Amino acid sequence: MSQQELLKRVVDVLDAAGVPYMATGSIVSSLQGEPRSTHDIDLVVAITPAGAQALLKAFPPPDYYLDDLAVREAMRRRDMFNLLDITQGDKVDFWILKDEPFDQECFSRRYAEQLPDLELFVSRPEDTILQKLRWANLSGGSEKQFVDALRVYEVQFQRLDLEYIGQWAKRLDVQGEWLRLQQEAEPL
Protein backbone atom coordinates (compact mmCIF):
# COMPACT_ATOMS: atom_id res chain seq x y z
CA MET A 1 0.00 0.00 0.00
CA SER A 2 1.40 3.39 -0.98
CA GLN A 3 1.68 6.26 1.50
CA GLN A 4 -1.26 7.99 -0.23
CA GLU A 5 -3.35 4.82 0.06
CA LEU A 6 -2.42 4.44 3.73
CA LEU A 7 -3.38 8.06 4.40
CA LYS A 8 -6.73 7.58 2.61
CA ARG A 9 -7.47 4.41 4.54
CA VAL A 10 -6.63 6.03 7.89
CA VAL A 11 -8.75 9.10 7.08
CA ASP A 12 -11.65 6.87 6.00
CA VAL A 13 -11.48 5.01 9.34
CA LEU A 14 -11.27 8.25 11.33
CA ASP A 15 -14.18 9.78 9.39
CA ALA A 16 -16.33 6.66 9.82
CA ALA A 17 -15.58 6.65 13.58
CA GLY A 18 -16.38 10.36 13.88
CA VAL A 19 -12.84 11.25 14.99
CA PRO A 20 -11.86 14.85 14.16
CA TYR A 21 -8.31 15.06 12.83
CA MET A 22 -5.86 17.46 11.23
CA ALA A 23 -2.89 16.53 9.06
CA THR A 24 0.25 18.47 9.87
CA GLY A 25 4.00 18.08 9.54
CA SER A 26 5.93 17.38 6.36
CA ILE A 27 3.02 15.99 4.40
CA VAL A 28 1.21 19.33 4.81
CA SER A 29 4.28 21.52 4.33
CA SER A 30 4.79 19.61 1.07
CA LEU A 31 1.25 20.53 -0.01
CA GLN A 32 1.62 24.17 1.01
CA GLY A 33 5.27 24.73 0.14
CA GLU A 34 7.96 22.63 -1.52
CA PRO A 35 7.22 18.90 -1.93
CA ARG A 36 9.64 16.49 -0.30
CA SER A 37 9.50 12.81 0.52
CA THR A 38 8.72 11.62 4.01
CA HIS A 39 8.01 8.21 5.49
CA ASP A 40 5.66 9.46 8.16
CA ILE A 41 2.25 11.05 8.22
CA ASP A 42 1.50 13.33 11.16
CA LEU A 43 -2.11 13.56 12.30
CA VAL A 44 -3.47 15.44 15.29
CA VAL A 45 -6.54 13.61 16.54
CA ALA A 46 -9.30 14.26 19.06
CA ILE A 47 -9.70 10.53 19.51
CA THR A 48 -12.18 8.67 21.70
CA PRO A 49 -11.94 5.08 22.98
CA ALA A 50 -14.40 4.04 20.25
CA GLY A 51 -12.24 5.76 17.62
CA ALA A 52 -9.17 4.00 18.95
CA GLN A 53 -10.94 0.64 18.71
CA ALA A 54 -11.95 1.40 15.12
CA LEU A 55 -8.29 2.03 14.24
CA LEU A 56 -7.12 -1.13 16.00
CA LYS A 57 -9.73 -3.19 14.14
CA ALA A 58 -8.92 -1.64 10.75
CA PHE A 59 -5.14 -2.13 10.99
CA PRO A 60 -4.47 -5.63 12.38
CA PRO A 61 -1.23 -7.62 12.41
CA PRO A 62 0.71 -8.98 10.61
CA ASP A 63 0.56 -6.22 7.98
CA TYR A 64 0.34 -3.43 10.55
CA TYR A 65 1.73 -2.66 13.95
CA LEU A 66 -0.62 -0.69 16.18
CA ASP A 67 -0.29 -1.47 19.88
CA ASP A 68 -3.46 -1.27 21.98
CA LEU A 69 -1.53 -0.46 25.17
CA ALA A 70 0.45 2.30 23.43
CA VAL A 71 -2.79 3.81 22.13
CA ARG A 72 -4.41 3.77 25.58
CA GLU A 73 -1.28 5.23 27.21
CA ALA A 74 -1.06 7.99 24.61
CA MET A 75 -4.70 8.87 25.22
CA ARG A 76 -4.13 8.94 28.98
CA ARG A 77 -0.95 11.06 28.74
CA ARG A 78 -2.25 13.14 25.81
CA ASP A 79 0.86 12.14 23.90
CA MET A 80 1.31 10.21 20.65
CA PHE A 81 1.19 6.70 19.22
CA ASN A 82 2.24 5.13 15.92
CA LEU A 83 0.75 2.97 13.23
CA LEU A 84 3.35 1.14 11.14
CA ASP A 85 2.70 -0.37 7.73
CA ILE A 86 5.01 -3.36 8.06
CA THR A 87 4.98 -4.18 4.33
CA GLN A 88 5.89 -0.69 3.05
CA GLY A 89 7.66 0.86 6.03
CA ASP A 90 5.38 3.91 6.19
CA LYS A 91 4.32 5.30 9.55
CA VAL A 92 1.44 7.37 10.84
CA ASP A 93 2.12 9.41 13.98
CA PHE A 94 -1.12 10.13 15.82
CA TRP A 95 -0.70 13.15 18.11
CA ILE A 96 -3.45 13.43 20.70
CA LEU A 97 -4.95 16.93 20.65
CA LYS A 98 -3.76 18.80 23.74
CA ASP A 99 -5.52 21.51 25.71
CA GLU A 100 -2.68 24.00 25.08
CA PRO A 101 -3.88 27.28 23.51
CA PHE A 102 -1.78 27.00 20.33
CA ASP A 103 -2.81 23.41 19.70
CA GLN A 104 -6.48 24.24 20.22
CA GLU A 105 -6.20 27.32 17.96
CA CYS A 106 -4.53 25.32 15.15
CA PHE A 107 -7.13 22.59 15.37
CA SER A 108 -10.01 25.06 15.29
CA ARG A 109 -8.53 26.69 12.14
CA ARG A 110 -8.03 23.48 10.12
CA TYR A 111 -9.57 23.32 6.68
CA ALA A 112 -10.38 20.72 4.04
CA GLU A 113 -7.86 20.36 1.21
CA GLN A 114 -9.10 18.45 -1.82
CA LEU A 115 -6.55 15.92 -3.08
CA PRO A 116 -7.05 13.27 -5.74
CA ASP A 117 -9.52 10.78 -4.21
CA LEU A 118 -9.28 12.35 -0.76
CA GLU A 119 -10.58 15.30 1.21
CA LEU A 120 -7.98 15.93 3.92
CA PHE A 121 -8.27 18.29 6.89
CA VAL A 122 -4.97 20.15 7.20
CA SER A 123 -3.42 22.91 9.28
CA ARG A 124 -3.53 26.46 7.91
CA PRO A 125 -0.27 27.64 6.30
CA GLU A 126 0.37 30.07 9.19
CA ASP A 127 0.07 27.21 11.68
CA THR A 128 2.22 24.93 9.54
CA ILE A 129 4.95 27.60 9.57
CA LEU A 130 4.68 28.11 13.33
CA GLN A 131 4.69 24.40 14.08
CA LYS A 132 7.73 23.83 11.86
CA LEU A 133 9.56 26.73 13.58
CA ARG A 134 8.59 25.26 16.94
CA TRP A 135 9.92 21.82 15.97
CA ALA A 136 13.11 23.39 14.61
CA ASN A 137 13.57 25.17 17.92
CA LEU A 138 12.80 22.10 20.05
CA SER A 139 15.13 19.89 18.01
CA GLY A 140 18.08 22.22 18.50
CA GLY A 141 17.87 23.95 15.14
CA SER A 142 16.71 21.32 12.65
CA GLU A 143 17.45 22.83 9.26
CA LYS A 144 14.95 20.49 7.55
CA GLN A 145 12.10 21.84 9.71
CA PHE A 146 13.23 25.42 9.16
CA VAL A 147 13.42 24.99 5.38
CA ASP A 148 9.93 23.45 5.34
CA ALA A 149 8.63 26.56 7.15
CA LEU A 150 10.56 28.84 4.81
CA ARG A 151 9.14 27.20 1.67
CA VAL A 152 5.55 27.39 2.97
CA TYR A 153 6.13 31.08 3.71
CA GLU A 154 7.54 31.72 0.23
CA VAL A 155 4.75 29.90 -1.62
CA GLN A 156 1.87 31.14 0.53
CA PHE A 157 3.18 34.65 1.20
CA GLN A 158 0.37 36.58 -0.53
CA ARG A 159 -2.26 34.79 1.57
CA LEU A 160 -0.56 34.72 4.97
CA ASP A 161 -1.77 36.52 8.08
CA LEU A 162 1.62 37.86 9.17
CA GLU A 163 0.21 39.51 12.29
CA TYR A 164 -1.15 36.15 13.46
CA ILE A 165 2.23 34.50 12.89
CA GLY A 166 4.05 37.31 14.71
CA GLN A 167 1.77 37.09 17.74
CA TRP A 168 2.11 33.33 18.04
CA ALA A 169 5.87 33.41 17.33
CA LYS A 170 6.22 35.56 20.44
CA ARG A 171 3.96 33.34 22.55
CA LEU A 172 5.74 30.17 21.36
CA ASP A 173 9.19 31.70 21.87
CA VAL A 174 10.25 31.23 18.24
CA GLN A 175 10.78 34.91 17.46
CA GLY A 176 14.41 34.31 16.47
CA GLU A 177 13.44 31.63 13.98
CA TRP A 178 10.59 33.80 12.67
CA LEU A 179 12.93 36.76 12.14
CA ARG A 180 15.51 34.55 10.38
CA LEU A 181 12.79 33.11 8.12
CA GLN A 182 11.62 36.57 7.06
CA GLN A 183 15.20 37.68 6.37
CA GLU A 184 16.02 34.62 4.25
CA ALA A 185 12.71 34.31 2.40
CA GLU A 186 12.30 35.02 -1.29
CA PRO A 187 8.49 35.04 -1.66
CA LEU A 188 7.12 33.86 -4.98
pLDDT tens profile 67-103: 999 999 999 999 999 999 999 899 999 999 999 999 9
What integer is the mean pLDDT of 128-148? 90
Question: Distance between CA 149 and CA 158 in Å, rounded?
Answer: 15
**Beta strand extents in the chain (DSSP E only):** 21-24, 40-45, 64-65, 80-85, 91-96, 111-115, 118-122
* Confidence (pTM): 0.93
Question: Of 65 and 39, which is predicted with more confidence?
Answer: 65
**Which pLDDT belongs to residue 1?**
66
Question: Distance between CA 91 and CA 81 in Å, rounded?
Answer: 10
Which numeric CATH code is attached to 3-122? 3.30.460
What integer is the mean pLDDT of 14-33? 96
Domain segments of the chain: what residues? 3-122, 125-184
Question: Distance between CA 53 and CA 178 in Å, rounded?
Answer: 40
